[in-house]
Amino acid sequence: MMTATTHLTPSGAAQFTVLVTRGIRTSCRVPQLLMFSLTMPLAMLVLFSQVFRSVAQNPSFPQNVSYIDFVTPAMLAVSTVMAGTNAGVAAAVDHTTGLSERFAALPMATWIPNAARTLTEAAFTFARVAILGIGAVALGFEFHGNPVDLVAAVTVLVVLAAAMSALFGVIGDRLRRPDVVQFAGMMIMMPFMFVSSAFAPLETMPPWMGTVADVNPVSHATDAVRAHVLGHGSASTTTIALIVAVLWGIGALLLSARSSRT
């Protein structure tokens, strides 16, 4: 039985598929995590839509737009940061169990585990968007776009979720402790959430915030998704949102390939 099968030639694509399958399987087996990570954005939507509704009275707020229609796209975009935190925690857990060490000693490119977590969380984004969408409708949300708008909006969200997962995967690899990654996630989520057009129009904020928001992928995604939701989506806003998200994702994966090389 111990016959040597030395010349194994594992393919990167097969390894990637194995790890994506593992990620989905593992996530499904922690129902608590799945439940909280899927429903927390919904709880936030309920809160924000009630607490900040007076923003709609501000003169610079878009005319004839209800606050729930304005804020739902923002919550959708923000919920992708939660997808990211999940990926970061998953990376940190692999360090505490010693699985990362085992992966590192296998003939597998260093970026594959992080890339697989990225795709896993991108996949769960569909579930998150669906739950949030149903909840929003219950709160009075209306989708004013057409089916193309819907596809475009979901695409932006999935790509952003992937970028955030790649980013947090690197953070998880660096910090190596799930509890610390959770807190880091909160810290990073704040500027992504608030230094953006998510909850109030950028025109109502100090100019420096607008500058920061220019590189904030959550802000661009919010703009794009909001435009599709309100029925005036444009190819250019969507393309910019996708490009900014992809750049963040590529940057993170490059960082993970670099940092894990000893």
Partner 1 sequence: MTAIVIDDVTVTFGDIVALDSVSLEVEPGAIVGVLGHNGAGKTTLVRVAATLQRPQLGRVLVAGVDAAVDPFTVRRTIGLTGQYAGLDEYLTAQENLEMIGRILGLGRAARHRAVDLLDRFELGAVANRRVGTLSGGTRRRVDLAASLIGSPTVLFLDEPTTGLDPAARIGFWDVVRELASTGTAVVLTTQYLQEADQLAGEIIVIDHGRIVATGTPAQLKSLVGGKVVRATVPTALARAFPAAVDAEATVRGEFTTWHVPVPDATTAASFVSSITASGAGVTDLEIVSPSLDDVFLHLANTGVPA
Where along the sequence are the contacts to partner 1 (CB under 8 A)?
1-11, 14-15, 18-19, 22, 25-26, 29-30, 94, 96-108, 262
Closest to partner 1 by CB, 47 vs 106, is: 106
132 within 8 A of 41, measured Cβ to Cβ: yes
CA atoms within a 13 Å half-sphere pointing along the CA-CB vector of 225: 30
Where on the phi/psi map is residue 109: left (φ > 0), alpha (ψ -120 to 50), or beta? beta
Output the smallest distance, CB 177 to partner 1, in A. Answer: 14
Output the smallest distance, CB 223 to partner 1, in A. Answer: 38
Closest to partner 1 by CB, 3 vs 63, is: 3
Output the smallest distance, CB 128 to partner 1, in A. Answer: 20
- Write the single-letter amino acid at 143: F
Q: How far apart, in whole angstroms, are the C-alpha atoms of residue 157 and residue 125?
A: 7
Closest to partner 1 by CB, 10 vs 140, is: 10
Closest to partner 1 by CB, 178 vs 210, is: 178
Output the smallest distance, CB 180 to partner 1, in A. Answer: 18
Output the smallest distance, CB 96 to partner 1, in A. Answer: 8
Q: Residue 115's Cα: distance from chain center in Å?
A: 14
Please give the structure tokens belonging to residue 134.
């149903």
- Please calculate the CA angle 213-184-252 and round it to the nearest 5 degrees: 65
Output the smallest distance, CB 176 to partner 1, in A. Answer: 12
Q: How far apart, in whole angstroms, are the C-alpha atoms of residue 35 and residue 110?
A: 30
244 within 8 A of 236, measured Cβ to Cβ: no
Closest to partner 1 by CB, 103 vs 194, is: 103
Which 3 state secondary structure label does DSSP give 64? Answer: coil
Closest to partner 1 by CB, 22 vs 53, is: 22
